Structure 1
């Protein structure tokens, strides 16, 4: 593995840990700050909102800067803003810190995805991007369970000390290992924004925002699902999350290979339909502890296999505006995060059990697959017209 890609992976580890660990710490944070679990769940939406705001804004501001410089600044922002959670005296302060921590997320992955394709061997771009995203999966394999364990057994604030430390490692790795790639030819804001005049670009954004909502309907409430429905003890949640992380590691690597072997569109359709079936099984069988453990693994595997395919699809759709387009996908992922957490929480507000958010996830995954089918049919139709 190239050290340059390893530095991107460390950034993914920082981001993945801070994004997903809150989901496992919801009961602890809610208890400490004296709010309900659904209210604490808004911290997930705050982070997602930060991504949506920061991804296009930061990339547009830094569009002509060298990639290494952009990534270094973003890594510093990640470290500083996550450190604010350590001293959060109230729920509102923590909400703001989560919003700020989300700002560099999308821009880092957006710039990182383009950089990964530039560093990759020809025909292995999907696998290069999957290496960067493997930081997210390693976070769910090790960072999130460990952070959940520390937060549950000691204090949730200690978890953010660990995140800040990983952020410092990311800064050092980028400084020493990331090559000084030249910035692309000077571009204007207007030229970058041209991508948003393309229907195809908006379709990819829509696929991401809606289709990935299935993942977030599941993972946003995984801790209370395991304790209230599967009847595991709270002490075992951090260990069970290791299964989800292992599935994500394997799924991410499989997704990268699938994207390089098949078209991104076919990969996305297959993954989203598989996820919808899996979430039905989660709803039906989570009350059985053995089935629940298997489903934690399979859901993690399927849901995290989609990242490379969507990123490659958007980069190919937005030739000439890759940075802003790639960053917008990260914003769309977090719209899916916010929608999944919010819509998935509605059945809970209505008094239904913690398995029901997965049914909302089924609908979102199927809708994402249908939009992808429309995208593919439109693409093939345009290709036929051009060949006539």
Structure 2
């Protein structure tokens, strides 16, 4: 039964529109508040840092609550964030309302995934999870570029109005589409925390962190990069986000099918983009058509990154799926924070054109972690 997975996807769409919707308007926000682009980037990195630091604890805390009520509450807070932000409040208040929903975001993701697979077969769990995670890719092809486009034609405040509207629609789907889902048998905290003793899970967490850091050291400054290095205006950037996203939707479903067959090979295949994209962006130069082609490939290889990272981590600790996924969300968002922060520092010190090479460095570290996990698993098998 895929209905619950699709409802989880719509909720994810609302969440991602709020979290990543600022990416296309960071230059405008920086100009409005008269701050540097790296300081504006804190709107993204601070959101992600809250998730990274509190995600696992919040998920454990709410693991015994009715799943529908938690999902509904989360989207309601995201709705409030969009409404308040649309009134262009002082920067400190904009930062505060951006941070508040971050506390419950990983809880929503864990609950949505749990609800999605609760009515499915074990054989198609990864496919159901991919439907939920496709909310990221769909946001990239619809709401995020649309909000950026509206901001380019009007003002950046309208982007937050779009985010509020999407959250409201998602809220309605959850309220009317899901039954109450009280937890019948709550797992003890101790049984879930046991996965932190597994070397393969620790290494998988490091891989997740480096992979997401790799992508976001460049992707967080998508608009800035295309503005400065490819001389594209804000309207053209919104078109690039649309292309990026529409290919990403396809990639998410392809990745879901591939993960059902082989988690490690699928993760490695999409991770290869951290090598390929920086090189292709460098050689595309000022050729617009070449840049469009690279952006499309970038969207394809990037879009399933959160799905791949979560599945890769959960595969090393399937006995505690919700807690493992919350840790995957935390380490992924820690990667967003570090990638965005270091990317911003590189821009200030050297220029935005150097951010793709930072992606390459983090990508190498991510693949190294995959190699270490493979060695550990091989050693464990040989000693059984």
Say yes or no: TM over 0.5.
yes
CA positional deviation for 1:169: 1.8
CA positional deviation for 1:192: 2.6
CA positional deviation for 1:302: 0.3
Residue aligning to 1:49: 49
Residue aligning to 1:61: 61
- Cα distance in 1 between the residues matched to 2:71 and 2:222: 32
Alignment partner of 2:86: what SS? Answer: helix
Residue aligning to 2:342: 343
Residue aligning to 2:286: 287
**Which deviates further from its counterpart, 149-158 or 305-314?**
305-314
- Cα distance in 2 between the residues matched to 1:217 and 1:313: 21
Residue aligning to 1:186: 186
From the superposition, tell whether residues 68 and 198 of structure 1 become closer, same or farther in structure 2 (CA, over 3 Å).
Answer: same
- Cα distance in 1 between the residues matched to 2:179 and 2:315: 24
Residue aligning to 1:97: 97
- Cα distance in 2 between the residues matched to 1:157 and 1:228: 23
Task: Report the number of matched residues.
Answer: 384
Residue aligning to 2:14: 14
Does the 8 Å contact 1:55/1:107 carry over to 2?
A: yes
Superimposed CA distance per residue, residues 266-286 of structure 1 (whole angstroms, 9 cap, x where no aligned partner) = 221222123322222123324
Residue aligning to 2:171: 171
TM-score normalised per structure 2: 0.94
From the superposition, tell whether residues 83 and 196 of structure 1 become closer, same or farther in structure 2 (CA, over 3 Å).
Answer: farther
Pairing 1:179-328 to 2, within 5 Å after superposition: 179-181=179-181, 183=183, 185-262=185-262, 264-328=263-327
From the superposition, tell whether residues 19 and 85 of structure 1 become closer, same or farther in structure 2 (CA, over 3 Å).
Answer: same
Does the 8 Å contact 1:267/1:306 carry over to 2?
A: no
Unaligned runs of 5+ in 1: none
- Cα distance in 1 between the residues matched to 2:74 and 2:42: 24
CA positional deviation for 1:326: 0.7
Matched, 1:375 2:383: no
CA positional deviation for 1:139: 0.7
CA positional deviation for 1:383: 2.1
- Cα distance in 2 between the residues matched to 1:131 and 1:227: 33
CA positional deviation for 1:335: 1.0
Residue aligning to 2:134: 134
CA positional deviation for 1:205: 1.4
TM-score normalised per structure 1: 0.93
- Cα distance in 1 between the residues matched to 2:318 and 2:135: 26
**Which deviates further from its counterpart, 316-325 or 30-39?**
316-325
Superimposed CA distance per residue, residues 284-329 of structure 1 (whole angstroms, 9 cap, x where no aligned partner) = 3243222111111111110123333332233332244222211111
CA positional deviation for 1:155: 2.0
Does the 8 Å contact 1:150/1:159 carry over to 2?
A: yes
Residue aligning to 1:108: 108
- Cα distance in 2 between the residues matched to 1:348 and 1:309: 28
From the superposition, tell whether residues 179 and 89 of structure 1 become closer, same or farther in structure 2 (CA, over 3 Å).
Answer: closer
From the superposition, tell whether residues 75 and 234 of structure 1 become closer, same or farther in structure 2 (CA, over 3 Å).
Answer: closer
